[in-house]
Amino acid sequence: MTSKTLRVALLTVVSLLTGPVAQAAVTDPAPAASTPALEDLVEIGSGKLTWFGLAVYEARLLDPDGQYDETGQQGALALEITYQRNIPRSRLLDTTAKEWDRLERPLNLNGQALVEGWLDQLETIWPDVTPGDRIIAFWEPDGPTRFYGNNGLLGVIEDPRFGPAFLGIWLHPDTRAEDLRMALIGGQP
């Protein structure tokens, strides 16, 4: 992987997982063993994203049986990212937009208006992140994607197409962060 490719991958991942906290009044607890949405999930795999030797974040992928299913029969998935660096929401959004543009065909993203609508929603959900901050994306098949932060629910994107498109940045075979993908899906080809 070239340094330019790695840089773009890093920026994409970072921008996908952070943004402003527009729903500060939401009081749902952050996912943990006691959170109903995640209490029955098992880690599939975990890994770390680095950029030129600098740790950017650690990530974990979880589902009900601890097995990633690429056939489209996957149950609920949670992607947890714990940041190791300061990353502004604007950078996360920009990177996410660039990755969705790059993966438009593989992820079946039909139309710029769809992606722009999602990015507008993410801008109201994601905070700027600092070292130790955690963002969890929890996707239910054919359902919404919920984002949790350090202090609880950050927001929800109801569109059922969003979850696979968002997680595809890390999990699609054409991801820029191939090593991280393999670590997240438990080393499966």
Is residue 81 a contact partner of residue 126, using CB atoms and an 8 Å limit?
A: no
What residue ranges in 2-151 does DSSP mark as E strands? 42-51, 54-63, 77-83, 134-139, 145-149
pLDDT per residue over 127-140, tens digit each?
999 999 999 999 99
What residue ranges in 103-150 does DSSP mark as E strands? 134-139, 145-149
pLDDT at 37 (0 to 100): 59
Domain residues for 65? Answer: 3-184
* pLDDT surpassing 50 at residue 74: yes
In a domain, 165, yes or no: yes
pLDDT at 59 (0 to 100): 96
* pLDDT surpassing 90 at residue 23: no
In a domain, 36, yes or no: yes
Confidence band of 65 (pLDDT split at 50, 70, 90): confident
In a domain, 167, yes or no: yes
Computed over every residue of the chain, the mean pLDDT equals 80
pLDDT at 128 (0 to 100): 96
pLDDT at 18 (0 to 100): 35
In a domain, 109, yes or no: yes
In order of 35, 89, 122, the CA distances from 11 in angstroms are 30, 11, 16
In a domain, 22, yes or no: yes
Helix (H) or strand (E) segment spanning residue 40: none
**Total structural domains within the chain:** 1
Is residue 62 a contact partner of residue 80, using CB atoms and an 8 Å limit?
A: yes
Confidence band of 107 (pLDDT split at 50, 70, 90): confident
User: How far apart (Å, rounded) are the C-alpha atoms in residues 97 and 151?
Assistant: 26
pLDDT at 75 (0 to 100): 83
User: What CATH number is given to the structural domain containing 19?
Assistant: 3.50.70.10
* DSSP secondary structure letter of residue 19: -
Q: Which range (41-45, 81-85, 101-105) has the least confidence?
A: 101-105
* pLDDT surpassing 60 at residue 77: yes
In a domain, 189, yes or no: no
Single-letter code of the amino acid located at 123: E
Closest CA to 184 of 81, 94, 84, 31: 81
* pLDDT surpassing 50 at residue 20: no
* pLDDT surpassing 90 at residue 180: yes
On whether the pTM is more than 0.75, the answer is yes
